[in-house]
Every structure is written in C-alpha cells, then in structure tokens.
C-alpha cells in the first residue's frame, strides 16, 4: 500500500530539513563567532491576546506560565500585548469584543 500524500510530503520536508541542517553545519571560526553572539541575546516573544477571552486566559495561565517554572524566562524577552477592542465603561466595568459578541448571540439564539 502506497503512503498517503500528506505523509509523503511530510517525509520529504523532514528529509530536506535534515539534509539542509547537516550541510549548513560548518566548523569555521566565522560561524562559531556569529553563533556565540547570537546565544548571548534573548529571544523576543510577543503574545497578542484578546482581553477577557477564556481561551487566551487558559493559555497564559496553564501554558505560558511554564516558562517561569522551567527558568526559560531567563532567555526570553516577553511582551504581552492585549487586543480585542477592550474598553472600560463609565460604570467601571470592562467590556470587550468577545463578550459583546456573546451578548448578540444570546439575544438571537
């Protein structure tokens, strides 16, 4: 039985990636010096999330928080960017696009 097309494509991609990695690994001094300069800088990670979104909150609390537990935060410049049309109403409550859409859904369904 012939492998399915997605499996074949995935296998080809993996082989290409492995062959590229093997051919690009060189022990020249210029590559080593550029590698050492890269290793001294932190990884920049920007997370755009929707405010008050249960799925985003779940990801931040249950998954993103692991970078603090594992010590990975030492090499990460973390930038959290709230999105989702959040706004503070005059009565002090917070409204966002998700809750507005849920209200419309509840009205019609």
pLDDT score recorded for residue 1: 47
- Convert the pLDDT of each residue in 12-49 to its tens digit: 444 444 444 444 444 444 554 555 555 568 999 999 88
Closest C-alpha among 62, 55, 53 to residue 86:
53
Is the Cα torsion angle 21, 25, 30, 36 positive or negative in sign?
positive
Rg (CA), the chain: 23
pLDDT score recorded for residue 13: 42
Look at residue 11 and tell me if it is in a domain: no
Look at residue 48 and tell me if it is in a domain: yes
Question: What's this model's pTM, rounded to 2 decimal places?
Answer: 0.46
Look at residue 6 and tell me if it is in a domain: no
pLDDT score recorded for residue 36: 52
Write out the residue range of the structural domain in which residue 56 sits: 44-108
Look at residue 2 and tell me if it is in a domain: no
Look at residue 50 and tell me if it is in a domain: yes
Look at residue 80 and tell me if it is in a domain: yes
Maximum alpha-carbon separation in the chain: 67
Q: How many domains does the chain have?
A: 1
Would the pLDDT of 4 be above 60? Answer: no
């Amino acid at each position: 039985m012939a492998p399915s097309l997605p499996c074949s494509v995935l296998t080809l991609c993996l082989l290409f990636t492995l062959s590229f990695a093997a051919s690009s690994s060189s022990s020249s001094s210029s590559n080593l010096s550029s590698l050492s300069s890269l290793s001294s800088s932190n990884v920049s990670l920007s997370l755009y999330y929707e405010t008050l979104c249960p799925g985003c909150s779940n990801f931040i609390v249950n998954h993103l928080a692991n970078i603090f537990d594992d010590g990975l935060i030492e090499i990460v410049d973390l930038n959290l960017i709230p999105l989702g049309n959040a706004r503070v109403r005059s009565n002090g409550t917070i409204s966002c696009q998700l809750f507005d859409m849920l209200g419309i859904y509840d009205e019609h369904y």
